[in-house]
Chains A and B, each alone.
Chain A
Amino acid sequence: MKISTHRSGAWKSYVNERRDLLTKIIMRIQLLFVIMLITAMHTFGNAAAQSVSLSARKAPLSKILDQIEQQTGYYFAYKVQTVEDLLVTVELKNVPLQEALEACFKNLPVNYKISERTIVISRKPQQNGQAPEVVVVPPVKITGKVTTKDGSPFPSVTVRIKGQKQVAVTNNDGYYEIQGEISDVIVFSYIGHETVELRLGGQKEIDIVLLEAAAQLKETVVKGYYSVPRELNTGSVSGIKAIDISRQPVSDPLMALQSKVPGLYIAQTSGVPGAALTVRLRGQNSIDNGNDPLYIVDGVPFNSESIGLNSNAASGNLSPLASIRPSDIESIEVLKDADATAIYGSRGANGVILISTKKGKSGKIKLDFNIYQGAGSITRRLDLLNTPEYLEMRNEAFKNDNATPGMADYDVNGTWDQSRFTDWQDVLIGGTAHFTNAHAAISGGSAATQFLISGDYRNETTVYPGDYRNRIGSALFNLSHTTEDKKFRVDMSTTFSSNNNRLPQSDFTSNIFLAPNAPAIYNAEGTLNWENSTFNNPLGNSRIRSTSKTDNLNSNLILSYSFLRDFQFKTSFGYNTQLINEVNIVPFAAGNPARANADLIRTNITAANRVKAWIAEPQLNFNRKFGHHNLDALFGATWQVRNQEGQRQTYSGFLNDELIANPAAAATKGALVTNYSIYHYSALYARVGYNYKERYILNLTGRRDGSSRFGPENTFGNFGALGAAWIISKEEFFQKKLSFISLLKLRGSVGKTGNDQLPNYAYLSTYESNSLSYNGVPVLVPKGLTNPFYGWETINQIETALEMGLLKNRILLNTTWFRKRSSNQLVKYPLPVVAGFSDIFANLPAVTQNSGLEFDLSSVNITNNEWSWTTALNLSVPWSKLVEFPDIEKTAYKNRYVVGEPLYLRFVYKYTGIDPTSGLYTFEDVNKDGSITSTQDKVPVFTGQHWYGAINNNLSYKGVSIDFSIQFVKQTGFGFLINQSPGLVNFNQPTEVLDRWQQEGDISKFQRFTRNTTTAFTANSLFLESDIRYTDASFVRFRNLSVSYSLSPKWMNYFRLSSARIYCQGQNLFTITNFKGLDPETQRSGFAPSLPPLRVLTAGIQLTF
């Protein structure tokens, strides 16, 4: 048998033939790439040579056929025997191919047939009626190279011949080799990338570029213990990838999730480096207990609660998740509905966030360096009174009350210079923070073993005056090995990070309300000025240091073994330690040197806390196809132990400031406060997934949990969910009539999850030491009332969603509706204090509900080989409701909730304006009893989000890529009013207070200024507790911008780089809002003011070798 092909291609005609197809299919860009590359690779032959010239006498037919092939670009397929003895005599000059073939085969016992560019030759049927000879086109070796968009080799791409069994994989250099047939279609595929199908059309060498998938339907969704193709997913899962994270110069991986996932609301609580974030997935499900999602890092449950024991500028609330470096993360998946979370049972009610670190890939060793630097500052300031306005306020307060400034009224009694002006916001929070982040990674491996080692360093300073910084260094190590028979696999990953966060003990933001005419900060000689003990210098705080050193080790080992074709046994072991060491140093120099007892003021507060957890999870997987039936099942168990051990001690009585760091030099040791807890958890879990023709899908999950946080009566609980999906677009009737809809999928789930985020031992009757004594002996006192019978907080969830893809999934729209109901909230049930304590832990007989709509739209607007533009839009509309609460009137909850109303209520007085005669605030006497009382006259107002979402865009042109993300939130929140009666003491106020009542008949926003603590003061207290304090806190925030430029392949080759990128990034660039306070996201201006999130601008470079 012999086959020959022609090397020179008639590519123009190929393109013409395919043009109609090209315009239709979404992969046209890839094809263009392919065509261009192939075109470039081949030398053009005589492309127009459709005419044939032959001259032969009794020449073997095979030789003649060779000549025709060379002249035309057509090729012949035949059995060697067919033409063996045939001789041809022919004399032709520039005749068409058809004519030439007729001439050649005229007297021969063969037929020919032109199919595409192949001419198949077969023997003519014989006389005795035998079937005509069937010519099977023989295999041919096809080779080529697959590259990524940036031109680097693409290893591990699956190459197969459509409809055939043979499969090849590209090697480390991107080359492949496969046996195929001339008329075959060759298919290139790789997870997360568009699959490319090409007709061989006579080619034996094909180079292609494989692009990332525009629509991510084929990618795998990780659902914790198992994963499924996104298309076949029955649950609600969304997330972000390394590329999304790399576009944001954030220090905490959770910040990278901000505004990316529908249903997930993440708010910064402070702009202080390392401060924790508030994360709420689909609302607040628990009234009184933890509402944090369950975080799992590489299979290990990760403690996300702050473990610090000391106070610091971040309110003592540092985020442990900041120790996972964003640049080490491959993906973050957010599991939302019961289908996705019920397998996490009692810990799944608030959603599950899975963080996977990067893994090595087979291929040549890759070195990656990434460094960026930047600066940050606050974006918004409060508009506060200047000195003349401020003094006017103070003096008017005294005048209104017929009083004269007292001894301590230094600002107005002549002690302080009344012509001074200091912008305290400028002094205290107006600085510039600097950021440096460096990352290096080395990875690679063979088909059997892959590894990745990376290191990361970040240094971040603050906007405060003083030497503060948060420094974190981390390392990631990852190793995978698969045996040659692919049966046994080991995966190991370890991250270690060490964080040194040096902050002031308190947030300087709380001092921005100092009188604007307060004295100078420094004396002429450069020391802190205390103005003869009349001025509490805020910069004293800068001498107080609060240092937190956190070490985090997270390690995971997975062993898996496949047997009996369909089974796999897998065991995951995890270990996590978080260790925090804190020291707060209060030197005497931090305060007024005129104070007495210097050695008692000098304090050292040393604290250490450690959380140590291990987990073991054996698991058996089964997977089998029976015709059109696909069955997946798993069964597993979990053992987890977490113990926590901490202590805190205060030392004082130091002879001088230098000795404070050494506790041994302390004369007085405070009581050692220790705490210890151990948490045991075990579970059995299972999952059965079934689909028929990948069209009808069922997913059943369940878990039986036991937790030491519950009494013997209620240690165990059962949880489970059923998810189902129907891919309507795979039905024949649908494909015939509505082919422009490329995907239509209806899915839904129902299930029950639980929440065990409550204190350890709360069901036991416990006593504690309160550091007091009786007759000189330390005592123990009861810690609270005891209820050993409380049980799980369970959440029943239901969800339905419609997923739609248009234009070959260039446009994807997901619409989701969910409802979460809880009928046994575990709360600190308020009791009259007559019972000894003000509350008791109990399951509340009420039904609470969170529901919502989530929309998620992604669209590939433009995509060609130069331009690409994608847009993603998400929108979440949450609702909450107290559905039922028997006898609420008899409980203390009547002042917190109303049946039928949202759960996020504040009970406030109803402000009714200023009495023009008295100049005082007035309030509605709701119960008409003639007096305003807190229990009778408060009405509920809603606070929280009405809806929120974001638009994310990615634009790229050649090597330039621009990404930006705009977040929008419609919400009602805590306004800017300051917790201090204007004029009462030396405390500044927003300029708004100038619109105040001054004389009878005035209509104003603020009441008369007062320096007394009587009626006007009381009216102001009620005002601060009235509906006026809750304002529209909606905002549109330009959250993120990233501009990057990748060097052209030519330059990269020159420098032997496989990629090079320079970039500029901005975070929190600007905000559009009517909100008057410091920041609509933190909403902390007048009450416990905190540093607003910073605007951060960075520039960096990334090189890969």
Chain B
Amino acid sequence: MGNVAEASPYYLALLTGSYGDELVNYSTNVTLQQLYTNSLNSVDAQTNRVWTSAYNFIYQANAVIEGVQASSGINEGVKHQLTGEALFLRAYWHFYLTNLYGKIPIVTSTLYKENAVAVRDDKVKVYEQIVKDLLSARLVLGDTYVGNDNISLSTERIRPNKFVVDAFLARVYLYMEKYEEAELASTRVINNKSQFDIIDADKVFLKNSKESIWQIMTAAPNTNLNTTEGAGFILTLKPQNSAAGSTAVSPRLLNSFTSADKRKTIWIAKFTDKTVTPM
């Protein structure tokens, strides 16, 4: 099965960034080059992997939802937290799948006999399902970030809560052009000043920053990385042939920022090495 790196938010950003020319590709990897040069074909491994991994994660979410439901040993509070998280993730992956592939099958159970013959659903139906899952998640999740015991408060912003769901819901509504609902949902997050706030631009991406709503701890603790994104996008050497560190922000994206934009001045750095040329 696909590993987390292949379907992680970093990987999604890398693939879609390359494909959408937000990034310049220096990798010699054939499939990454094909992606960059818009010469994808139907057997391409990269496009397959996202699809495969996303549906595997959806299966895991469904397994959690069904397993927790059937359990008699887990108390109600924990059941709510776990079910809410799983519903959120199920919505999350359906969202990216439909944005990348258009019509996709909606999968809401682990029954392989049904899922194996699932047909592609209209984008509208997929979005309806996403909203439905997120609203259900809102109902069962609490207001705070919890720790590993599912109850105690945690300073880590890892386990989704009601506001994480709201923030994502707002985004989904925007894609659905339901601007009123989007505003309502985002307002709920914005108004929660005790948990979320705008902070200095250079501190936004730090661990547990107040501006971040949902952070994911690196899933492979032995890699000595803080985040996969950092390792992949921040260049410390000239761009490499391998997937990590093989891209730079494209001039087109760079020029779309005004010169005073803090996102440009603070979040984007410059690395000069005349010896490399993009592939």
Which residues on A are within 8 Å of B, measured CB to CB?
Answer: 407-408, 668, 670-671, 770-777, 781-782, 785, 831-838, 840, 933-935, 1013-1014, 1017-1018
Which of B115, B159, B241 is the one whose CB lies under 8 Å from A775? Answer: B159
Q: Decide: A668 near B115, CB < 8 A? Known: A835-B55, A1013-B30.
A: no
Q: Which of B13-21, B183-191, B217-225, B249-257 contacts A (4 or more CB under 8 A)?
A: B217-225
The answer to whether B118 has its CB under 8 Å from any CB of chain A is yes
**Are the C-beta atoms of B219 and A773 separated by less than 8 Å?**
yes
**Are the C-beta atoms of A835 and B59 separated by less than 8 Å?**
yes
Nearest CB to that of A771 among chain B residues? Answer: B220
**Are the C-beta atoms of A833 and B112 separated by less than 8 Å?**
no
Which residues does chain B contribute within 8 Å of A831, judged by CB atoms? 112, 115-116
Nearest CB to that of B64 among chain A residues? Answer: A782
Which of B39, B51, B219, B275 is the one whose CB lies under 8 Å from A1014? Answer: B39
- For the complex of A and B, the 10 pairs showing the least CB-CB separation, nearest first, are A836-B59, A835-B115, A772-B219, A835-B112, A831-B116, A833-B52, A775-B158, A835-B116, A785-B112, A834-B105
State in angstroms the CA–CA spacing of A771 and B51 once bound together.
Answer: 22
Which residues does chain B contribute within 8 Å of A781, judged by CB atoms? 60
Which of B1, B56, B221 is the one whose CB lies under 8 Å from A776? Answer: B221
The answer to whether B148 has its CB under 8 Å from any CB of chain A is yes
The answer to whether B63 has its CB under 8 Å from any CB of chain A is yes
Other A-B pairs beyond A671-B222, A772-B219, A836-B107, 13, CB < 8 Å: A776-B217, A785-B110, A785-B112, A831-B112, A834-B115, A835-B55, A835-B107, A836-B56, A836-B112, A837-B59, A933-B43, A1013-B33, A1014-B39
Which residues does chain A contribute within 8 Å of B105, judged by CB atoms? 834
State in angstroms the CA–CA spacing of A772 and B107 once bound together.
Answer: 25
Minimum CB–CB distance for B30 against chain A, Å: 5
**Are the C-beta atoms of B34 and A1013 separated by less than 8 Å?**
yes
Q: Which of B221-279 contact A (CB under 8 A)?
A: 221-222, 241, 275-276
The answer to whether B41 has its CB under 8 Å from any CB of chain A is yes
State in angstroms the CA–CA spacing of A837 and B110 once bound together.
Answer: 10
Which residues does chain A contribute within 8 Å of B59, judged by CB atoms? 782, 835-837
The answer to whether B58 has its CB under 8 Å from any CB of chain A is yes
The answer to whether B211 has its CB under 8 Å from any CB of chain A is no
**Are the C-beta atoms of A934 and B55 separated by less than 8 Å?**
no
The answer to whether B197 has its CB under 8 Å from any CB of chain A is no
Nearest CB to that of B221 among chain A residues? Answer: A773
The answer to whether B156 has its CB under 8 Å from any CB of chain A is yes
State in angstroms the CA–CA spacing of A837 and B112 once bound together.
Answer: 9
- What are 24 A-B residue pairs whose CB atoms fall within 8 Å in the complex? A771-B222, A772-B3, A774-B158, A774-B217, A775-B156, A775-B217, A776-B148, A776-B217, A782-B63, A833-B52, A834-B115, A835-B55, A835-B107, A835-B115, A836-B56, A836-B60, A836-B107, A836-B110, A836-B115, A837-B1, A837-B112, A838-B52, A933-B43, A1014-B39
Which residues does chain B contribute within 8 Å of A776, judged by CB atoms? 148, 217, 221
**Are the C-beta atoms of B118 and A834 separated by less than 8 Å?**
yes
Q: Decide: A836 near B58, CB < 8 A? Known: A775-B158, A831-B116.
A: yes
Which residues does chain B contribute within 8 Å of A785, judged by CB atoms? 110, 112
Minimum CB–CB distance for B222 against chain A, Å: 7
Minimum CB–CB distance for B159 against chain A, Å: 6
What per-residue 1/0 map shows which CB atoms of B92-121 lie under 8 Å from chain A? 000000000000010100101001101000
What per-residue 1/0 map shows which CB atoms of B39-80 lie under 8 Å from chain A? 101110000000110011011101100000000000000000
**Are the C-beta atoms of A1017 and B156 separated by less than 8 Å?**
no
Main secondary structure of the interface of B (DSSP, over half): loop
Minimum CB–CB distance for A604 against chain B, Å: 16
State in angstroms the CA–CA spacing of A935 and B42 once bound together.
Answer: 10
Minimum CB–CB distance for A266 against chain B, Å: 35
**Are the C-beta atoms of A772 and B34 separated by less than 8 Å?**
no
**Are the C-beta atoms of B221 and A1018 separated by less than 8 Å?**
no
State in angstroms the CA–CA spacing of A934 and B45 once bound together.
Answer: 13
Task: Indicate the member of B1, B159, B217 with the most A CB atoms within 10 Å.
Answer: B1
Task: Indicate the member of B55, B116, B148 with the most A CB atoms within 10 Å.
Answer: B116
Which residues on B are within 8 Å of A, measured CB to CB?
Answer: 1, 3-4, 30, 33-34, 37, 39, 41-43, 51-52, 55-56, 58-60, 62-63, 105, 107, 110, 112, 115-116, 118, 147-148, 154, 156, 158-159, 217, 219-222, 241, 275-276
State in angstroms the CA–CA spacing of A935 and B43 once bound together.
Answer: 9
Nearest CB to that of A770 among chain B residues? Answer: B3
Q: Decide: A775 near B148, CB < 8 A? Known: A781-B60, A785-B112, A837-B59.
A: yes
**Are the C-beta atoms of A777 and B60 separated by less than 8 Å?**
no
Minimum CB–CB distance for A955 against chain B, Å: 57
Which residues does chain B contribute within 8 Å of A782, judged by CB atoms? 59-60, 63
Which residues does chain B contribute within 8 Å of A407, judged by CB atoms? 275-276
State in angstroms the CA–CA spacing of A781 and B52 once bound together.
Answer: 15
State in angstroms the CA–CA spacing of A771 and B42 once bound together.
Answer: 32
State in angstroms the CA–CA spacing of A465 and B147 once bound together.
Answer: 56
**Are the C-beta atoms of A777 and B30 separated by less than 8 Å?**
no
Which residues does chain A contribute within 8 Å of B156, judged by CB atoms? 775
Which residues does chain A contribute within 8 Å of B222, judged by CB atoms? 668, 670-671, 771
Q: Decide: A833 near B275, CB < 8 A? Known: A781-B60, A782-B63, A1013-B30.
A: no
State in angstroms the CA–CA spacing of A668 and B62 once bound together.
Answer: 36
Q: Decide: A833 near B33, CB < 8 A? Known: A772-B220, A775-B159.
A: no
State in angstroms the CA–CA spacing of A763 and B105 once bound together.
Answer: 27
Which residues does chain A contribute within 8 Å of B110, judged by CB atoms? 785, 836
Nearest CB to that of A782 among chain B residues? Answer: B63
Minimum CB–CB distance for B275 against chain A, Å: 7
Nearest CB to that of B4 among chain A residues? Answer: A772
Which residues does chain A contribute within 8 Å of B37, judged by CB atoms? 1014
Minimum CB–CB distance for B41 against chain A, Å: 7
**Are the C-beta atoms of B217 and A773 separated by less than 8 Å?**
yes
**Are the C-beta atoms of A834 and B107 separated by less than 8 Å?**
yes
Task: Indicate the member of B30, B37, B112 with the most A CB atoms within 10 Å.
Answer: B112
Which residues does chain B contribute within 8 Å of A838, judged by CB atoms? 52
Which residues does chain A contribute within 8 Å of B42, judged by CB atoms? 933-935
State in angstroms the CA–CA spacing of A407 and B115 once bound together.
Answer: 49
Nearest CB to that of B147 among chain A residues? Answer: A775
Minimum CB–CB distance for B270 against chain A, Å: 22
Minimum CB–CB distance for A212 against chain B, Å: 59
Which residues does chain A contribute within 8 Å of B219, judged by CB atoms? 772-774
State in angstroms the CA–CA spacing of A671 and B118 once bound together.
Answer: 38
State in angstroms the CA–CA spacing of A777 and B1 once bound together.
Answer: 21
Q: Decide: A836 near B55, CB < 8 A? Known: A671-B222, A773-B219.
A: yes
Minimum CB–CB distance for B25 against chain A, Å: 12
Which residues does chain B contribute within 8 Å of A670, judged by CB atoms? 222
Nearest CB to that of A890 among chain B residues? Answer: B117
**Are the C-beta atoms of A777 and B55 separated by less than 8 Å?**
no
Which residues does chain B contribute within 8 Å of A774, judged by CB atoms? 158, 217, 219
Minimum CB–CB distance for A783 against chain B, Å: 9
Task: Indicate the member of A834, A838, A935, A1013 with the most B CB atoms within 10 Å.
Answer: A834
Minimum CB–CB distance for A892 against chain B, Å: 10
**Are the C-beta atoms of A777 and B112 separated by less than 8 Å?**
no
Nearest CB to that of A779 among chain B residues? Answer: B219
Minimum CB–CB distance for A50 against chain B, Å: 99
State in angstroms the CA–CA spacing of A838 and B48 once bound together.
Answer: 12
State in angstroms the CA–CA spacing of A1017 and B29 once bound together.
Answer: 13
Minimum CB–CB distance for B71 against chain A, Å: 14
**Are the C-beta atoms of A833 and B55 separated by less than 8 Å?**
yes
Nearest CB to that of B114 among chain A residues? Answer: A835
Minimum CB–CB distance for B142 against chain A, Å: 16
Which residues does chain B contribute within 8 Å of A935, judged by CB atoms? 42
**Are the C-beta atoms of B56 and A833 separated by less than 8 Å?**
yes
State in angstroms the CA–CA spacing of A788 and B152 once bound together.
Answer: 39
Nearest CB to that of A1014 among chain B residues? Answer: B39
Minimum CB–CB distance for A554 against chain B, Å: 38
